[in-house]
Amino acid sequence: MTTVATPRIDRRALLKTGAGALFISSIPIPASAAPEDMQAAVKETFGDGPIQEGRVALSIPPISENGFSVPIEIEVDSPMTEADHVRRIAVFSPRNPVSTLINFELGPRAGRAHVSTRIRLAGTQAVLVVAEMSDGSLWSGAAETVVTLAACVVL
């Protein structure tokens, strides 16, 4: 009786392959951003000033079935007078390839710091909104949404 040589898969080789695969899968896809990119985008837009939590209310559906169009609504607590108003509102994503989603510029003529639009989201994430007041102070608000069908899914 002849013995057939079978390729041996030993424990060490398997572990090496496994470690390699793990390493490859941990390399980020260039088209998706990390939360650090979002922090960089916030700094680029508003500078290094401290950002306080509060005054910004972001409404987003808890579950977004379609990441290509997610309705958002932002209300900033401000009297919107000549002396005290919201100057800028910006929306950021920690997962989208471009962290900055949209910037709004408003002033006392707006009467009310309340805006809404529709955005794209590349997956489940907490969307961040930062508002700059006329005195230069920065305020933020965030809300999480579960995205069932992500935009940019076909990359």
What are the residues binding another protein (CB under 8 A)?
A: 31, 68-70, 73, 91, 93, 96-98, 100-107, 109-112, 114-121, 151-152, 154-155
Nearer to another protein, 16 or 118 (CB): 118
Q: Is 8 left (phi over 0), alpha (psi -120 to 50) or beta?
A: beta
Nearer to another protein, 20 or 105 (CB): 105
How many CB atoms within 10 Å of residue 12? 8
The CB-of-53 to another protein minimum distance in angstroms stands at 23
Side-chain-side CA neighbours of residue 51 (13 Å): 20
Enumerate the β-bridge partners of residue 53: 140
Closest by CA position to 122, among listed 25, 24, 30: 30
The CB-of-47 to another protein minimum distance in angstroms stands at 17
The CB-of-77 to another protein minimum distance in angstroms stands at 14
The CB-of-132 to another protein minimum distance in angstroms stands at 14
